[in-house]
Amino acid sequence: MPSNSSLSPTPSLSERLSGLLFFPVTAFAPDGSLDLAAFRAHVRRGVEAGAGAVFACCGTGEFHALAPGEFRDCVAAAVEEADGRVPVVAGAGYGTALAAEYAALAEEAGADGLLAMPPYLVVPSQEGLLRHYTALADSTSLDVIVYQRDNAVFTPRTVVALARHPRVIGLKDGYGDLDLMQRIITAVRSEETPRDFLYFNGLPTAELTGLTYRVLGVSLYSSAVFCFAPEIALVFHRAFSTGDDETVRKLLDGFYVPLVELRNQGRGYAVSLVKAGVRLRGLDVGEVRPPLAEPAPEHVKELGDLLERGLALVGAA
């Protein structure tokens, strides 16, 4: 019979979330159907490259374009490919009832947590936001990270109330108001909450704002670049985490800032350009689904040139 010392409790999701957060794209076949084999390969490569967690079927994974069955199959595939090495967090969104259904599908598929995306279409009050995310957290046994962006922007008081929920473990910020973030962090720190509350930089190409968020004490971030250039993303993350600001600035100036300028050339490029990057690295994950559109051919070529420059910078580093 094992001794008590060998029966260590399973680490919580909060304790397991570290390193680079990988948001895989969702692969589609030429006819537009789900390509699970390519998706599995993409997730497997990311985990083997050194991802700290897999966030499946979220924004980069075109959650908005997935039918419920496709969502469940993708999350289950990500869980199988991760094989317990890193946690898998699944997206959940739309209205409260549908978000709870997606949460149930994610739980059934074996996910470790949820990224709760903004509700569909409406612009709710703070009371409405609190009711929505509380109801979602009440509907599941999974830990929940709330995504602040677009029509879901919170006051510090609302975040304090959410942080008191036993299953709401963190806030991912895709809004970018640093004054607001500092007030949120201060408010939560000043109140009694059941655990250490996590914060994530969730802005597109988060590396660009990483140094600024680090001053606020926010070091976790999602990396779209990791999808197609894990070599670059990992060198940047290592430099960012160890205070090697010279390497950080070199990669910002030579790769990340030009990438953001390219991303800003078209609507939806935060997803479609990433998918093009994955294809450039040799894995055919297909095109984006409508209403997104593919990037212009000249922009894909520019991405290829930029990718070569970034890989050369990493080699030099």
6 vs 103: CA distance, rounded Å: 33
DSSP string, 222-263: EESHHHH-HHHHHHHHHHHHHT-HHHHHHHIIIIIHHHHHHH
Greatest alpha-carbon span in the chain = 65
Token pair recorded at residue 61: 């994974």
302 half-sphere exposure, CB direction, 13 A CA radius: 15
Please report where in the chains the tokens 């290829």 appear, as a residue.
304
Which residues carry out catalysis? 147, 172
Contact predicate 79/111, CB 8 Å: yes
Token pair recorded at residue 216: 């606020």
Residues in contact with 106: Cβ distance below 8 Å, sequence separation at least 6, in sequence order: 71, 72, 75, 90, 92, 114, 140, 142
Residues in contact with 131: Cβ distance below 8 Å, sequence separation at least 6, in sequence order: 96
Number of H helices, E strands in the chain: 14, 8
Give 91: exposed, middle or buried? Use CB within 10 Å, 0-12, 13-18, 19+.
buried
208 vs 236: CA distance, rounded Å: 11
